[in-house]
Amino acid sequence: MIQRYRASAEHGKPIPRLRSRQDGSIIDCIHDPQLFASWFEDDWQSWQPWLAFLCALFALPMDADQLGIYRECTSRNDAPSEIAREAWLVCGRRAGKSFVLALVAVFLAAFFDYRPYLAPGERGTILVIAADRKQSRVILRYIAALLKGVPMLAQLITRETAEGFDLANSVSIEVATCSFRSVRGYTLVAALLDEVAFWRAEDSTEPDYEVLNALRPGMSTIPNSMLLCASSPYSRRGVLYEAHRAHFGREHDPVLVWQAATRRMNPSVPQSFIDAEMERDAASARAEYLAQFRADIEDFITREAVEACISKNVYERGRIERMKYSAFCDPSGGSADSMTLAIASKQNGIATLDALRERKPPFSPEQVVGEFAKLLKSYGITKILGDRYGGDWVKEPFRAHGITYDSAAKPKSDLYRDFLPLVNSRKVDLLDHPKLLQQLVGLERRVTRSGKDSIDHGPGAHDDIANAVAGALTSVGVRKYAYDSSMAWVGTGHIDDNTDFRAGRITRYLFSGGLIR
């Protein structure tokens, strides 16, 4: 039965149709006093950019003003002739993206009939995915207000849960967070993704790509299923940037990309506020409010480089007699930060990670220090380094256990900078620890106002484990570059006969400390 229903979607069955209000569009619903007009009628003019977007999304006729907005925000001339199955909103903060996602979700759920493409007992799902539970609740509140605030739509609700609503027409609206595991198994009539440029997940280094890969098969059996992704832009990486690069400004491209500054979509945000933000941090404000991808942020380290240094299936290394060990601690600096400890040694010229511990909040600092001290003593360690901004609170608890805690002389940006050449030259041996891999790959390099590089985790992410590991491995005394102690290379090559050239190479080699050949 399921095969028969799904096969019909591939053999000419008409696309899902509006189930009520004959030929009614989302714009009609917005103007209808019995539906959504009350959310818009106080200031119709300020909503015109969003109405233009919705006309483009659903291939509706546009007036001259709306067509002008469409051309400005898409860099295309011709209005769409078909409903977009995939659309990307690159808009500044406070533009109204989350509310519009909720509006589209309710419209698709209530006014389209997907039952011809569902097997008996099967439900079509409109899945709204946000970066975290807090953001999910924001969107769910919008959805609840739109459904419950309209008597005609409230009658459709058969079940309400903490995650969404079941409707009488075999459609459910659910909110979820960005986990590629939790979004599998649905029959999706639509997937709406909020703030996708800022997704972070402990079980994935690339949650945006992996969630999309998990979603697309669930949309394959529903004609006109819709993927709508909305976000403020961030760095020049990830699915949002890739979609913008591939589809923005391309005439007749079936994938719609809409890019607009905050005030273009929401004129109620004061220009004076935007100006103040530009004065405070221009690079950040250009992304947050002008919807421009940041050029000052780049990946610090590649996944391939880190994976090449990992010893697969090695999770901890026991103590070797007469081996000297070093340790680095990153104390918890806030209620959301973990307290971490890394132990390392130098083995055969390689900085080797031997043990790694993380304690997530909430925890008792004194109890964690006691656990860490016991582990340190098992490796013969009585003196450790720690993050210089971790605070002095941790020194006395370690001292009570016979461990001397000294603050690192370098900030973590410098530790990461020293750590990078060790990784790139495979001078480190890492444990098989997925969260360590995630945090290292998630590090970002950005240029500060002073022109210096700052290396840190991205928004909403953490680097407590990465900081401890970088601190421990850079403290064991491994050289960042390979030195050639022999002089055999000086007399090789077809230019050996040139005595002056060979003498010059020797001089450059000696004065560069072995770095220039």
- Domain residue spans in the chain? 24-288, 303-473
pLDDT band per the 50, 70, 90 thresholds, residue 506: very low
Which residues in 290-306 are b (16+ Cβ under 10 Å) and which e?
bbbbbebbeebbeeeeb
Res. 190: pLDDT tops 80? yes
24-288 classified as CATH 3.40.50.300: yes
CATH topology of domain 303-473: Nucleotidyltransferase; domain 5 (3.30.420)
| Mean pLDDT for the stretch of residues 202-225 | 81
| Mean pLDDT for the stretch of residues 116-141 | 89
Res. 17: pLDDT tops 70? no
Retrieve residue 188's tokens: 């999706």
Higher pLDDT, 11 or 150: 150
Separation between Cα atoms, residue 349 and residue 424, nearest integer Å: 15
pLDDT band per the 50, 70, 90 thresholds, residue 515: very low
Retrieve residue 245's tokens: 């690069």
Res. 47: pLDDT tops 60? yes
Q: For the chain, what is the mean pLDDT?
A: 85
| Mean pLDDT for the stretch of residues 176-198 | 85
Res. 487: pLDDT tops 50? no
Separation between Cα atoms, residue 492 and residue 498, nearest integer Å: 11
pLDDT at residue number 6: 40
Separation between Cα atoms, residue 296 and residue 414, nearest integer Å: 18
pLDDT band per the 50, 70, 90 thresholds, residue 82: very high
Give the distance between the most distant pair of CA atoms in the chain. Answer: 94
Separation between Cα atoms, residue 425 and residue 415, nearest integer Å: 16
Separation between Cα atoms, residue 331 and residue 398, nearest integer Å: 11
Give yes or no for a contact between 403 and 376, defined as CB atoms under 8 angstroms apart: yes
- Ordered DSSP codes for 147-179: HHTSHHHHTTEEEE-SSEEEETTSEEEEEEES-
- Ordered DSSP codes for 440-469: HHTEEEEE-TTS-EEEEE-TT---HHHHHH
Let me know the angle formed at the C-alpha of 119 by 114 and 123, rounded to the nearest 5 degrees.
Answer: 55
Res. 496: pLDDT tops 50? no
pLDDT at residue number 334: 61
pLDDT band per the 50, 70, 90 thresholds, residue 388: confident
What 3-state DSSP class applies to 173? Answer: strand
